[in-house]
Each structure stands twice: as structure tokens, then as C-alpha cells.
Structure 1
């Protein structure tokens, strides 16, 4: 049996690093993934897929990624359930990320901004 998924998309907001009661780091994020085909209006729809990243990868994600960062997540689909306050069963489907790769390092963007600032400072 195989439960594996790979997604490439952009973060919908800045990752917020959290910790479990036992001190394990994690981030919950939504990945905006564009569909590979156009709808009836000629536009590619986007799916917003919930992902959870754990431990050191979560810390790296929180430190180096922000809203709009392009990343690849490889992991497994997990379905969990709980009972809400209204005593209704709620099912949650999410991707548990086992690997997250930065596809565009933000340091290059920062380097470009620094070069622009240096150029602006040199102009008389």
C-alpha cells in the first residue's frame, strides 16, 4: 500500500511556528496549488491544501519562508476526526509533510534588494 503525495505551490500566509506540550515544533500552513487545466472561464483554479510540517523542517520553514514562498511538500494524506461543540463529527483531510523543499530561496531576493539600495545610495 502507498500513501504519498507531492505538491508544489505557494504559502498563503507567513508560517507560524508552534510547539506541542512536549516541545515538538510544527507549523500548519495552506499551500495554494494551481490546477493544471483551465475551467469554463479559461482560468486555472487553485486548491488551498492544508499541510502540517514537523520538527526541524517546521523550524526551517518558519525561519526561511513567508507568504508567497514557492515550496514543494512531499508527505502523506491523513484523515482525522473529532466531535465539535455541537456534538457533530468533523472530518479533516490534510497532508502531513515529511519533506519540504524551498524552490526559490528568499536570500536571492534579499540580495537583489540590497544591491538596489546600494545603487540608490551611490547616486548623487
Structure 2
């Protein structure tokens, strides 16, 4: 079963397995969002051994989506929130990196401290 929560035009969907794996991501804020969690939750740095690469990729994809929806308050509010609370998001947003959806391998640190490699695919939901 997929639980879905849409915030503005930038939504996040997840299932039970993702909620268990990304511990804290869905309870980190009132509006669960992976980008918000990666940049604003202190435990995201520990959870993602390759945090910098993951964070830069997420931000570049967010910028691409925001560029397709200029002036949409949800994107500008999320940008402002991230840039105001994360020095990395502020610095990297100014680089104007734009990313596309794709896939690859993501390393995550499990609750027992071990690191697991996970294959992932990121899809863009059509307007």
C-alpha cells in the first residue's frame, strides 16, 4: 500500500518499507518531504554515508521541478526554508545545478550501524 501526502505542487509519496528505512523522514516536519529531511534533519547526515552527493542531486532535481512551475508558492517557500536553514542548500542553490530523474545505487546506514547498498529509480510524475 502506498501512502501519499502531497505538499503544494511538490509532492512526496512513500510506502511502509520506505518509512521504516528512512527513519524520521516522515515525522521530521508537518509536511514530510525527502528534500526537507535530507537538508534539515541532523540524522540524515549519518543515515546517508554519501550525503553530499545525495543532497546535491535532490536539490538539482528540485530546481528542475521549480523551473517548470515558476512562481508556484510551494516551491519558493521550500527553497526559502531550505536556504534559510541549511548553509549547503543556500550555497548549492546559487550554483543553478539542474538535475533529471534517474537511478543508481544509494548507500544507507542501517539502525545496527551496517551500510547497505540499495538500487533506486527516481521517477517524475507527469503534470
**Which TM-score bucket, shorter chain as reference?**
under 0.3
Larger RCO, structure (CA 8 Å, separation 6 or more): 1
TM-score by length of 2: 0.26
Question: Which structure is higher in helix share?
Answer: 2
Q: Which has the larger radius of gyration?
A: 1
